Each structure stands twice: as C-alpha cells, then as structure tokens.
Structure 1
Amino acid sequence: MKLDILFSQYLYQHKKLVLPGIGTFTLDPAAAIPDETEKQRSAVTGITYDSKAVPKIEEELIEFIRSHTGKIRPLAVSDIESYISLSSQLLNIGNPLYIDGIGTLIKGKDGRLSFTPGSYASTKLEDLTVIRESTEPRRHDETFSRREPSGNNARQLLIGIAALITLGIIGGGAYYLYQSNAHKKTTETDAADSVANAVVTDSTTRSSGNAYMPDSNLIARDSAAIKRRADSLAALQNGSSQPDASGKIPLKYVLEVTANKNRALRRYAQLKEFGNDVQMQVAPDSSSFKLYFVIPSAYSDTVHIKDSLTRFFLNKVRIEK
C-alpha cells in the first residue's frame, strides 16, 4: 500500500489534506464517497486545490499515518516529509505527480501548479492497519538497531553483496561518463589548438616583408573538423534524429525502466550527483519511469557502446531513437 492511499483516505474522512510545499486539497462535505464494496472506481468530484504554501504538517495527519502504519511518531513524520520531498523534485523537473484517489498535479512553465481530479480509491480503512513497510523509504530507523537478530545470516550476506554491487555500478558508470566527457573536451581543445598552431607556424615561414600569409588550405581543413564536432553537439542538444556532418545520430541508450517512483528518483539523483548526464522520462500517469543517456553514435558503433554500458552498469541496455 502506498502512502498516497493513506492521504486520500485521510481527505475522505477529514475533508481537508494539507501537504507543506505541495498545497491544500479540500473535499466538499456534500460530495458522495463511493461505497467500499464498489469495484468500479468513479471520478473524483468536489475536490478543490490551493497551491498556497503552508508552514508545517498538521498533527491530525501525523497521528492518522502513525496509527495506520504502526510506526512511532518520528518515523511517521519522516515518511511524510520524504514523500513531500520526492514529490517536489518530480514536479520541479517537469513531470506530473499522481496522487492515487485524489488526482494529478502538473507544474506549468510559469511555475504554477494545476490540478486535475482522478478517481476515488476504494481501499477499506480496516485494511490500512496492516501497513508496515510499504510506505515511502524509511530514514534512520532506529528500531532496526534494537531488533533481535533473526538468525538469517545468508539473507544478510546477500543484502551486503547487493549493496556492494550497487556501489560498484554507480562508481563504474560515473567513471565511464567522466572519461567520456573528458575525452570530448580534450578533442575540442586539440582541434582548436591545431588551427592556432597551424596559423602561427605557417605565418612565420610564409612572410613577405611585414605581412604574414597563413596556409588557407590548412585553416579550412581544420575549421571543417571543428564544424563537424559542433554540428554533432548541436544535434544532441536539440534532440535531432538526423545524422550530423560526421554521420553520427543522437541515440537514446535506455539504462532502466521501472514502475517504482522512489527507486527512479533515487537513481536519477545519484547519477546526477556524480556528474552524469542522465535523463528521466515519466509516463503521464506516473506508472513508469525511464532512465537513459543520449549519445551521438554512428550505426557501426552502437553495439560496442551498448555492450560497454551494459558491462559498466551490470544491466542490459537497449537503444531507442
């Protein structure tokens, strides 16, 4: 059960849901809430949204989350704050935020949030009491340190190995992309230096009185090389699907597709923190999240690039245009 299901049930009961940093949802007391036994989910009616900032989380909401998750108050507050933080990041990068049982928020180009009602959630309130570990990721859960050992050493060993593999994947990917970016910068600098050196060297050998005559053919050849590189970079930035002057086309190398919003945002933030030019595409209803790189590639190099990324990230990479 996701945390937003608890938010929708809280709104149905209390007629008002306040999420600091996101806004306030208000349900008309006259709105008809569908019966819990109904299988067909009907459209939400009577919900209004106000984006005005609020200072803090209401105590009633904290108590509601605490009572239905079985967690202590600090952990319930941490869960709510984590949800709000991740949701704000999602909105700030231009992706929609879908709150199950309430509706969808989208941030426009003017920075304002717009709200579209969704469908009522039909979860029974008595089912919510079984929620324990399925809300947003816990932060600094001190209760783990006080639990008795389970004796399942093999499971703990597997978790440790998985953590080490994850760190290795992140570090390897960051190193690969760092080396790739460094190579691009070095290539551009060397091309510019070759033009400058050619002009200076040839000018000293082709002097006539006080006038220097550089070799125009050499300058034209090196200038063409620089232009081909610039065309490639421009095609990448503009998202063009046409080959540049060097025959390369920007291709999308898909690293991962997941329905887990928290995993996608954490992975996106980690890769960005290491300086990777990763991009994320989110489905309109937030049902899937795609992490990918856009790399200008010649068709003859695609297999090599894809295999290299697969080895670095230990996850099969596929190509899209």
Structure 2
Amino acid sequence: MKLDNLITQYLYHQKRVSLPGIGTFTTDGPTVKFDNKYDATLSDDLIEFVKTHTGKMYSLALSDLESYIMLNKQFLNIGKALYVEGIGTLVKTKDGSFEFTPGEMVPERMEDLTAESRKPSAFIDETRYHPENNSRQKWFIALLGILTLVIIVWGGWRLFLNNNGEPEAGKKELAPVIDTAMVPVTDTLKLMADSMPKLNDTIKSPDYTANPGIATAQNSQWRFVIEQTTNKNRALRRYNQLKEIGDKIQLSTTDSITFKLYFQLPSMVSDTTRIKDSLRRFYGSKKVSVEQ
C-alpha cells in the first residue's frame, strides 16, 4: 500500500493527521479541512499505523514518513501541487502559506483500491514502493553474493596451488631450513656433524710464535659453557651425545645440582666473543658463557 493512501486511511480513522512542515488535516466525516499549523513531530500513532500496514520496523516506517514529507514539501516550494487521494490538493501561495482544495472522500477501504482506480500523484516516489523494483534489488543482491563467493573460492584455489604446487619456472627452489628446535637432539648433532667441520677445525689455536711476548695457549685456557642445567638426566644425555660424534665436551658439577657442559679451549681475551658466537650457532645454544 502506498504511503499517501495510508495517510488517508489514518485520517479517516483518527479524524486528524499532522504533517510537520506542511500542516494539519482534520475531518468530521463528509469533508476534510486543512490548517497551516502543524505538530513539531510526527505522531507515534501514525508511525505505528504505517508500521502495521507495511510490515516494516518502527525506524523504517518513521524514515519513510519523513522522506515523504520532505519530498512533497520540496515540490510545494517550487510551485507544484500536492494531491492526496481521498483528502484533496495543496498549493503554495505567494505569502508562503498553503491553500487547500478538498477532494472527494473515498468510501472504500484503502486495501480494496487498485492501482488503476487511483489518481496518480506527482509526489509519490514510485521507485520506493514499486514491487518490481524490490524484486530487482533482491536479484541484484543475490547475484552480488554469488559473485563474491566465486571470487573467494577462486582465491582459495590459487592459494592452495601456490602453497602445494611445484616451483614455478624461473624461480630458484630454496634450500630446506632445518629447525633444530623441532628435531631430536641426536638427529641435530648428526646433521651438524655431517654438514659442518669439527669444532677443533673451526676454532684453531692462535699462533703465538710470531710474538713471544704474548701468553701461550697453555696458560690461556678458557671454559666455554654451552649449557647449564639442573636436570641431571638431560646433562648426561647431552654429554653422551656429543661424545658420540667425537667432540671433546666436558661435564662438571660443584654441588650435584647444577651441571655444566663446556669446552676447555685456548684463546686470547679478544677472541672469546668470537668463539662464543661460533659455539652458540654451532650447537644451537641459547647462551654461551665464558669462565677461566
């Protein structure tokens, strides 16, 4: 049902309807009268009436009424006449007020009035209430949803191919990265033993023969502690594993609570930092400390 017909029906039932910004219509039965005075806001009863007969929420019914009034007021301001079937016609005069000409009251119920029997109004927003346009809008929304779903599926398929497919031509395949934190300790040590030189080959004793004034390797021994733990079983297990691959690892404890795994290596003071970094990377230690 169109909004102007609902306003007419409401006027017949309640005998009064006020449109803010336009005026107030009243009826005593056979005729309709108009007064330029109007209420500041729309009546809650009118909003509920529209809500009930359109099936819309209260906020939407209010929005429809406000849009209807605003549109008709704009047309009235530019000199157009407002015709509301069953009520009459409004035109704006030179002094800014509205002049009303009563129309024929409609005796039938508004639900029985067909579109063909109603006189068209220049102020009715046909596109807003036309069922065909609503149906077209639903089809558009459905099509948009299907298109969005297709794009999501296609994107997921492409991502799957990129993650699981063979390397594309022209791209170098990266060497696999070994995460020592996820590989058992024994396997880690074997991998390091196969892929890297022995510690004794990596860390060589400095040549002190060129400068006799520098301290010899024998009196510059340092303890490089690669692991310190209170877990005795772990300390023994790690010690045995390193021994298996030929490293000169040593184990010590002073209180039978704290166990240290370390290498006894000759070094100058200036070289201890470099050796610490080499040991930390080689054995995957979180921290390497130095003791003399």
With normalisation by structure 2, the TM-score equals 0.39
Kindly indicate which of the two structures has a greater share of residues assigned to helix: 1
Larger Rg: 2
With normalisation by structure 1, the TM-score equals 0.36
